A and B are shown apart, each in its own frame.
Chain A
Amino acid sequence: MPIQTYAKLIKKEEIIKDVFKFSVKAEEMVKTAKPGNFIEIRVSNQSEPFLRRPISIFNMNREEGILEFIFQVKGNGTKILSKKQVGDEIDILGPLGNGTFKFEKYNTVAIIGGGIGIFPLYELAKEAKEQGKRVNTYLGFRNKDLVMLEKEFEEVSDKLVITTDDGSYAEKGFAIDFLKKDFEDSSDIENSCIYACGPLPMLKAVQKYALENNINCQISLEEKMGCGLGVCLGCAVKKASSPKDNPEYFHVCKGGPVFNAKDVEI
């Protein structure tokens, strides 16, 4: 059940240029939050900026009641957020989303993320690893300046592949090609699942590959959002099963943000 709370900022770090990791005290929220859930932050109690900012949960420490999220400074709202100081209270609504990452029934958790889309995948990798799953992680970045969280993902993955589009760091190429290669060599496809979050072209490629090869796949989506609660019906995503001339929609905040890849048309 989502709550609204004022969470104290206890640690703040700029992990790469313009990308901030915030650790906040949010005991109630982390009790019920699951991998894949997100939060919405009101960066100002004034009317500008008006809407909350949806941000995915990166990591949770349930014992200490700590929630961590990472965001890139993109516009006015995230700029204001990035100026918050340790000790400030942040207005957070969450945990949000009913569609979360489900991994219990699989043996192998294949995680693929791109750029700033990698953040919600960390808690998934961590919890899957804790439950004894094999975690293979493939993270793609445009270039070496944008590579982040390598050490963190290494600790929660049995295998970690980092790629850069231009080859300026680690493997050159796209993360999906390395994932494909491992699936081609795999003998346990039915007990494996791909988990993806990242830029739309990457998600489309992953979805296509998974559907064509009958591989289980869950994707975390984003869409412009109003309330985050399923009220405003803003963040619509088309149901794959619905007819073209009379499309039906899920809502990212309520049905998602994580969907089974075969259920949505992106």
Chain B
Amino acid sequence: MNTKINFAGIEMKNPVTVASGTFGYGREYSNFFDLGKLGAVITKGTSLKPKSGNKPPRVCETASGMLNSIGLQNPGVEYFAQNDLPFLRKFNTKVIVNACGSTIDEYVELCKILNTLDIDGVELNLSCPNVKAGCMAFGSSYDGVKTVTKEVRKVLDKPLIVKLTPNVSDIASIAKGAEDGGADAVSLINTLLAMKIDIYKRKPVLANNTGGLSGPAIKPVAVRMVYQVSQAVKIPIMGLGGIMTGEDAIEFMLAGAKAVSIGAGNFADPYVSLKVIEGIEEYMKKCNVDNIEDIVGKVEMN
């Protein structure tokens, strides 16, 4: 049984990664298990300079999921390079840095630095719904995605994954923008823009009013979008949105994802990513799948 995949040039021991913003820089969860069991760790969204994030409350629970409006709080790339990267490098896993910025120049400057670091790839965050500038503003149009991707591509030799927002009318054209801009892969979906109201205070629960919905509630939307994107682009897809089990991961892979990411599920169960890896192996045994890559995109539409 072979669970290895090559994702946009990144050799992973299995297709399971942990999603940006739900795993920090790995330290906290390394107390629970060996990070070397994961295909890759995708870091917290990291910017050129430190960011302190949004006012609280920043999170709240919703039906089978949660909203967050963290606002990309992070210590900046310099701190990451000095403190977190050496720690992550102790584990036998791939390290992909989620990169965010407010302007094209910021993305480019950041990726110039990332290009010099001992990392395995960059995930370009064009999809965070919780910051005033950048991110989703670029990620909402074909031209925006293509432009940023193209500029970053010029300075980045490492594998480049573009993370897409679902808050668009045509996800396939957005993915095409990434492909046409020179991305090696796309990952989707980031959170769905959402709101929860405290009916007694008659105010939104989150201080930022809106936030991004994640968790099992969004899984069917994500699976649909992965399928649509798989029909529109040739580059590989990292699928994510509400994955809690091996079955969930297989569903994404059948829809067209070559790799998957575990997001908010980490908060409910620190061991969830290991359970997903085990669940994938169980499925492979049960359904006589020798190579995990063989099931990618193998859904047969009605």
- Residues of A at under 8 Å CB distance from B? 1-4, 42, 47-52, 93, 223-238, 242, 246-249
Contacts and interface: CB of A to CB of B under 8 A. Distances in A.
A225 B60 CA distance: 7
Contacts of B55: 236, 247
Nearest to B26: A231
A234 B270 contact: no
Interface in B47-64: 52-64
A229 B25 CA distance: 12
Contacts of B52: 242, 246-249
B200 interface: no
B131 to A, nearest CB: 14
A216 to B, nearest CB: 26
Given A50-B64, A234-B68, A249-B56, A4 B270 contact: yes
A50 B32 contact: no
A233 B59 CA distance: 9
Given A1-B31, A2-B31, A51-B61, A231 B266 contact: yes
Contacts of A42: 268-269
B292 interface: no
Question: Interface SS of chain B: helix, strand, loop or mixed?
Answer: loop
Task: Give the bracket for the number of chain B residues in contact with chain A.
Answer: 35 or more
Contacts of B31: 1-2
A4 B274 CA distance: 14
A264 to B, nearest CB: 12
B20 to A, nearest CB: 11
B59 A232 contact: yes
A181 B31 CA distance: 46
Contacts of A47: 64-65, 215-217, 242, 244, 268
Contact of A224 (B60, B215, B264): B60
Contacts of B242: 47
